């Protein structure tokens, strides 16, 4: 990972937003600052940019997020993915083609633990509709054959799903979107900025005062404002996944939204949360859930194979924090940090 990406910083990015659609301008600083908040992709988002073109940049970023939300949503009847799921085939736009390419690559590298065809399984459990349901063994056996991205085929700009298959870009879309926001900031000459898309944070350059950003990592056992650690970061995405984000309870059991595409059941390994830091927001998004499903031992092995692409912070169910050596020096916590080396 680029050494520029992770350094000491002094501001804290907290993923907890206050209101909707508010602009703010700070004219007392040398540089103009603009902030806007928005609800999209089923989460509250926050955009901050510094520079003389900050208003135009944030406007463009918000429009891009709204465009991608409509394009990639499984619920939007006029969206590209919704149409593809109904018909089983369709022409791909540039964005969709890129997401399929990236998704299939990560599918191969994770041994199928990241799978774009997981949507029928998510529906069976009721997570998209929030009409939760614990499926029977027979129901799972009927759905699992549909969860297999190797059945997807491509001919030129057209994609073909296997019979009965449906795709969901929910595990990768926010990371792709935050990367697009960074590109927009670059195009508009923004000198510093960040975007928070729920559990996805991506930061752009240093803060205006010359310090770098600090990204809070939630304590899996605490509330929304409780932090287990703070990661010092610059020019990278920081994405955290954990079972505390979305779940339901039934008959005294907790069922989380991170589903293992191999078993059909919620992941039940030894990890409470996974944070991935990478210059590639799309990769960070996909790996945060895939590594969670893998569990501690396999996640460490995966990092050793692809260590040039990302760093990670793992918090076990016992509350122990592990960090790969590329970020361990930039991670602050009241707990001891166990360093993962190559």
Q: pLDDT by residue (tens digit) across 148-180?
A: 999 999 988 899 999 999 999 999 999 999 999
The pLDDT assigned to 1 comes to 54
Residue 280 lies in a domain: no
CB 159 within 8 A of CB 182: no
What is the percent of the chain where pLDDT is above 90? 85
Residue 304 lies in a domain: no
Q: How many whole angstroms separate alpha carbon 4 and alpha carbon 206?
A: 10
In the chain, how many domains are there?
1
What CATH number does residue 99 fall under? Answer: 1.10.3980.10
- For residue 3, pLDDT over 70 is answered with no
The structure's pTM equals 0.90
Give me the mean pLDDT over the 216-233 stretch: 93
Q: 249-278 b/e with 16+ CB inside 10 Å = b? A: eeeeeebbbbbbbeebebbebebbbbbbbb
pLDDT in tens, 173-193: 999 999 999 999 999 999 999
Residue 121 lies in a domain: yes
Q: How many whole angstroms separate alpha carbon 108 and alpha carbon 11?
A: 38
Residue 151 lies in a domain: yes
Residue 30 lies in a domain: no
Residue 106 lies in a domain: yes
Residue 300 lies in a domain: no
Write down the mean pLDDT value for the chain: 91
Q: What φ, ψ does residue 83 adopt, rounded to 5°?
A: -65, -40
CB 21 within 8 A of CB 37: yes
Q: How many whole angstroms separate alpha carbon 164 and alpha carbon 115?
A: 15
- For residue 108, pLDDT over 90 is answered with yes
Range of the domain at 91: 72-160
Task: Give residue 41's pLDDT band: very low, low, confident or very high (50, 70, 90).
Answer: very high
Give me the mean pLDDT over the 253-275 stretch: 97
The pLDDT assigned to 43 comes to 93
Q: How far apart are the first and last CA of the chain?
A: 13
Give me the mean pLDDT over the 211-224 stretch: 92
């Amino acid at each position: 990972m680029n050494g520029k990406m992770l350094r000491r910083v002094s501001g804290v990015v907290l993923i907890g937003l206050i209101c909707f659609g508010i602009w703010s301008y700070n004219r007392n600083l040398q540089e103009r600052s603009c902030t806007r908040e928005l609800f999209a992709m089923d989460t509250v988002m926050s955009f901050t940019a510094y520079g003389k073109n900050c208003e135009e940049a944030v406007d463009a970023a918000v429009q891009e997020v709204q465009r991608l939300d409509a394009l990639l949503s499984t619920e939007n009847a006029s969206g590209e993915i919704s149409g593809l799921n109904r018909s089983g085939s369709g022409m791909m736009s540039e964005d969709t083609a890129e997401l399929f390419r990236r998704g299939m690559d990560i599918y191969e590298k994770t041994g199928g633990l990241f799978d774009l065809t997981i949507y029928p399984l998510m529906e069976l459990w009721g997570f998209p509709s929030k009409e939760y349901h614990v499926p029977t063994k027979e129901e799972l056996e009927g759905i699992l054959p549909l969860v297999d991205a190797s059945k997807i085929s491509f001919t030129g700009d057209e994609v073909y799903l296997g019979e009965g298959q449906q795709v969901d870009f929910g595990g990768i879309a926010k990371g792709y979107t935050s990367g697009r926001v960074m590109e927009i900031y670059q195009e508009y000459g923004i000198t510093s900025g960040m975007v928070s898309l729920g559990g996805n944070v991506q930061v752009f350059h240093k803060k205006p005062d010359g310090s770098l950003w600090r990204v809070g990592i939630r304590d899996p056992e605490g509330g929304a404002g409780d932090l287990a650690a703070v990661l010092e970061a610059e020019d990278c995405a920081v994405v955290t996944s954990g079972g505390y984000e979305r779940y339901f309870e039934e008959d005294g059991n907790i069922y989380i939204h991170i589903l293992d595409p191999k078993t059909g059941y919620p992941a039940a390994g030894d990890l409470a949360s996974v944070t991935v830091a990478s210059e590639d927001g799309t990769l960070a998004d996909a790996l945060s859930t895939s590594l969670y499903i893998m569990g501690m031992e396999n996640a460490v092995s995966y990092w050793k194979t692809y260590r040039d692409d990302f760093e990670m912070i793992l918090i076990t169910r016992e509350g122990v924090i592990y960090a790969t050596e590329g970020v361990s020096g930039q991670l602050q916590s009241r707990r001891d940090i166990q360093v993962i080396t190559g």
